[in-house]
Structure 1
Amino acid sequence: MNWITNFVRPRINSMLGRRDIPENLWIKDPDSGEMVFHKDLESNQWVIPSSGHHMKISAKERLKFFFDNGEYEALENPKVVLDPLKFRDEKRYTDRLKEAKAKTQLEDAILSATGTIEGLPIVATVQDFAFMGGSLGMAAGEAIVKAFETALARKRPMVLFAASGGARMQEGILSLMQLPRTTVGVDRLKEAGLPYIVVLTNPTTGGVTASYAMLGDVHIAEPGALIGFAGPRVIEQTIREKLPDGFQRAEYLMEHGMVDMVVSRLEMKSTVARLLKILLKTPLPQEAAEPEILPPVPVAPETRPHV
């Protein structure tokens, strides 16, 4: 069998001019099972056209779609101690960090940048769930704090895309300390009168929902995003009751007042830009006014001399 697989089949394929087809050319819609060509999906910001299902998206791609012309200036993340607790479970923490960096091409779960949306200068911060579940450690906390400081220094509003599983257990209490530190950054931004908008993506859970992810002036959620502190399974096991359908999903939270609006990724840029202009009291472009139609001027009846 090895002889057929390793020798005969490659010779036949080479004679017939066959080429190996990459396995990721088609992507399956989790909702409908429909197969979507990956180039079409990428051009549609990783939103499946037929069902509207929002796939996960990397931090770099999100910023490329969000900023004008895909141009932005990335902020360098502050340097921190990589493994303060010398933590080890099945693997060493340093090895996990190396794998995550190689996988995402990021220094940590946070990517911050400055740029413009519809001509409005802003600071944007994105959590990448692919980097250890978007967990919040010292490096991520420092990066978020730096983003707030940059927004303050440049007097720009801030937009944060949250996607996290919570605190990073490999850093213990040092990870939890980032929650109040980022909260102080939010307070300083609001004291300066600068808007802070949070976009909740799938999933946003754990400690971040007890801090900066729920302290925005406006909370926007992507359709179908899972948002909450503890997961539904943990809650069901704790209260021993069946949860409602759609519990902790974006649409459910909007109906119950936890989220201000649910917005498609395709409309996120224009929606955020409009909200920021309203909060900053920037004049919005007015539609061309229709010409005023004046009422007809009454004409006096013609008078003729009597003959």
Structure 2
Amino acid sequence: MSNWLVDKLIPSIMRSEVKKSSIPEGLWHKCPSCEAVLYRPELEKSLNVCPKCQHHMRISARNRLNIFLDLEGREEIGAELEPVDRLKFRDSKKYKDRLSAAQKQTGEKDALVAMQGTLIGLPIVACAFEFSFMGGSMGAVVGERFVRAANVALEKRCSLICFSASGGARMQEALVSLMQMAKTSAVLARLREEGLPFISVLTDPVYGGVSASLAMLGDLIIAEPKALIGFAGPRVIEQTVREKLPEGFQRSEFLLEHGAIDMIIPRNELRPRLSRVLAQLQGLPTPVLPISLAKEAEPDELEPLTKENEAPISE
């Protein structure tokens, strides 16, 4: 019996363990919505959208800009800016320790990444919130990067696009963070005066000071499917009004139905559809879409905008 254990069973178990350890970690990902187990390389090809239930998973700010902008000619804006703990703020942790942990986790210096580049040949400036960096909260660096991005758009006479994903103003920066609401709103007013489009794309989730300022000031406000969008969260509202909220409350579909946003566009359709709309808004030639992208653009988006349906750019 002992010979059988030593000669057969133990080597078999060891071979099995070797096979298991040879499978790379992170090769599979479970969809948080339908719980389907997905092959990560295929999931990345579908832009982190579940092929089973079409759930739009969160993606990093840098990855979002990389898949949205053309490959050539990208240039980051305000990359040198870093947050400073002016107030020496401390709650359960020191603010500087929270910053260090967030920077190590995300590889970013703060919660907004801004770049200038092109969208199917159209010059644009785009920025995206990094929700994994302290909940995408808006502090001094986020506000300054956004303003610099808007100033580049003013200088280049091109559109500004912002992908929002934020819990709101950063409490660790107190009034400094609240000032960013006014600061970003003021620079967007300058864009409007110059007749340059600002497109706000709302992704899951958008709350607090960001939704109360720049996120809802777009000439065109777009959302991804089923994104949570609001000021206070649904649980806070329920506790305040002491009533059950409607089904789907604060989801992008609910906001579209009630006129708070202009349209919902799936992630894989954003590039072709936005390029057409931006060209029409600025009176530029319609960009020629690659065959792979032309399939994604819906017929309605390919028709010229009329006076009745075009988004307002200036008063």
Sort the TM-score into its range (normalised by shorter chain). 0.7 to 0.9
Give CA deviations for 1:25-51 in whole Å, capped at 9, x if unaligned.
Answer: 211122222111111111111011121
Specify the code of the residue in structure 1 equivalent to 2:119: I
Give CA deviations for 1:248-289 in whole Å, capped at 9, x if unaligned.
Answer: 0000100000010000000011111111111101233699xx
Structure 2: tracts of 5 or more residues without a match: 1-9, 290-315
Correspondence for 2:56: 54
8 Å Cα contact 1:164/1:203 also seen in 2:
yes
Q: CA deviation at 1:199?
A: 0.2
Specify the code of the residue in structure 2 equivalent to 1:12: M
Q: CA deviation at 1:76?
A: 2.4
Correspondence for 2:40: 38
Specify the code of the residue in structure 2 equivalent to 1:179: M
8 Å Cα contact 2:121/2:287 also seen in 1:
no
Q: CA deviation at 1:205?
A: 0.6
Q: CA deviation at 1:232?
A: 0.3
Per the alignment, do residues 278 and 45 of structure 1 end up closer, same or farther by CA in structure 2, a change over 3 Å counting?
A: same
> For 1:64-103, what aligned pairs fall within 5 Å after superposition?
64-69=66-71, 72-77=74-79, 79=81, 82-103=84-105
Specify the code of the residue in structure 1 equivalent to 2:89: F
Per the alignment, do residues 205 and 174 of structure 1 end up closer, same or farther by CA in structure 2, a change over 3 Å counting?
A: same
Correspondence for 2:274: 272
Q: 1:141 aligns with which of 127, 140, 143?
A: 143
8 Å Cα contact 2:120/2:287 also seen in 1:
no
Identity of counterpart residues, as a percentage? 49
Correspondence for 1:206: 208
> For 1:143-292, what aligned pairs fall within 5 Å after superposition?
143-284=145-286
8 Å Cα contact 2:83/2:110 also seen in 1:
no
Specify the code of the residue in structure 1 equivalent to 2:270: M
What SS is found at the alignment partner of 2:222?
strand
8 Å Cα contact 1:24/1:38 also seen in 2:
yes
Q: CA deviation at 1:107?
A: 1.1
- For residues 165 and 269 of structure 2, the distance between their equivalents in structure 1, rounded to whole angstroms, comes to 19
Q: 91-100 or 218-227: which moved more?
A: 91-100
- For residues 104 and 247 of structure 1, the distance between their equivalents in structure 2, rounded to whole angstroms, comes to 31
Q: CA deviation at 1:189?
A: 0.8
Q: Which has the larger radius of gyration?
A: 1
Q: CA deviation at 1:23?
A: 4.1
Per the alignment, do residues 239 and 159 of structure 1 end up closer, same or farther by CA in structure 2, a change over 3 Å counting?
A: same
Structure 1: which 4+ aligned runs deviate by more than 6 Å?
A: none
Q: CA deviation at 1:77?
A: 3.7
Specify the code of the residue in structure 1 equivalent to 2:214: Y
Per the alignment, do residues 19 and 214 of structure 1 end up closer, same or farther by CA in structure 2, a change over 3 Å counting?
A: same
Specify the code of the residue in structure 2 equivalent to 1:278: Q
Aligned residues: 280
8 Å Cα contact 2:166/2:206 also seen in 1:
yes
Q: CA deviation at 1:79?
A: 3.4
8 Å Cα contact 1:72/1:114 also seen in 2:
yes
- For residues 284 and 145 of structure 1, the distance between their equivalents in structure 2, rounded to whole angstroms, comes to 28
Q: TM-score, normalization: structure 2?
A: 0.84
Measured on the aligned residues, the alpha-carbon RMSD in Å equals 2.2
What SS is found at the alignment partner of 1:188?
helix
